[in-house]
Amino acid sequence: MSTDVPVHVTRTRSGKPATFLEAIAEALWEEMERDERVFLMGEDIGAYGGAFKVTRGFIERFGASRVIDTPISEGGFTGAAAGAAHMGLRPVVEMQFMDFISPAYDVLTNYVATSLYRGAGPLPLVVRGPVGGGNRGGPFHSQNVEMAFFHTPGLKIVYPSTPADAKGLLKSAIRDDDPVIFEEHKGLYRAPHCRELLPQQDHVVPIGKARTALEGEDLTIVTYGLMVHRSLEAAAELARDGIRVEVIDLRTLLPLDEKAIVASVRKTGKLLIVHEDTRTGGIAGEIAMRINERAFEWLDGPILRVTAIDSPVPFSGELEDFFLPSVADVVTAGRYLSRY
């Protein structure tokens, strides 16, 4: 182990519970040490260490040729990363906030995602960064962008909810020969309730596999990201009513682990989908249709969803709390569905 490993990486290696942010940093550090083709690009990630300090200390260890500060030009540096990937490198692009991935939409959907299909070869590129609301960031620093890319064949979308999964999935994403959009809910970065010991071996989690966060028999909740934690809180409250909830953490949205969802719904007979993204065009609609196609005969009630409302994220704290799905919203929907 290098003697100049930054504090937020050495903490995880000393057997202390890691934050979500520390898990991301450790994954990046380990992959850069393992494979000299891996390099980072993004705004202020070098000397400043990133807006959230994920890459603090990286430039001192790996140098400015592998930790590259970019102009504020998301479309430009994502395109440059795609070119580097074509030349055999494995770039990891940081969006300072995922809200600003939109200038790179063209290069990601029209060029990056179609590379393999056009015969241009694999394009190993990871685009990672913070998403999500609850931090009073307003409409430009709080969005969930997954569904803007969910319709695009050739991309993978990962959205973990725990430090161990964040580390393992990011390592898998960096090693993947397909382009991956990797979303990190900023509300989990340093959350006290989101800390855990990280496996010390080469810990990788396969892309495309959901996990059962809680076993149950009466009701399935399918969710991801921060909403996994809110769904688990709601499940604990519903348990006091005698309702045994099963919580499925998707972890990967594209490809979607349809088999895991179907198996759970066939067991419980009832499905509630929870996501922070807005309601119209959210992943709940896709999941509901797949259950309609694959498990309709097992349903004992309507498929329900708890989501954000169809609005830009408000600046006002009180309005943002109203806008976002809450534990109480999940409990209310769970009680209604259990009685149906």
The set of catalytic residues is 141
What are the tokens at 79?
Answer: 């395109």
Give the integer Cα–Cα distance in Å for 189 and 202. 22
Instruction: Please state the separation of Cα 51 from the chain's center in Å.
Output: 18
Instruction: Please state the separation of Cα 172 from the chain's center in Å.
Output: 13
What are the tokens at 100?
Answer: 């600003």
Residue (of 183, 101, 147) closest to 279 by Cα position: 147
Per-residue exposure over 47-79, b if at least 16 CB sit within 10 Å of its own CB, e if not: eebbbbbbbbbbbebbeeebbbbbeeebbebbb
Q: Which residues contact 241 (CB under 8 A, 6 or more apart)?
A: 335, 338
3-state secondary structure of 67: strand
Report yes or no: 208 and 252 within 8 Å, Cβ to Cβ: yes
Report yes or no: 313 and 138 within 8 Å, Cβ to Cβ: yes
What are the tokens at 20?
Answer: 């979500």
| Whole-Å CA distances, 127 to 65, 250, 252 | 18, 19, 15
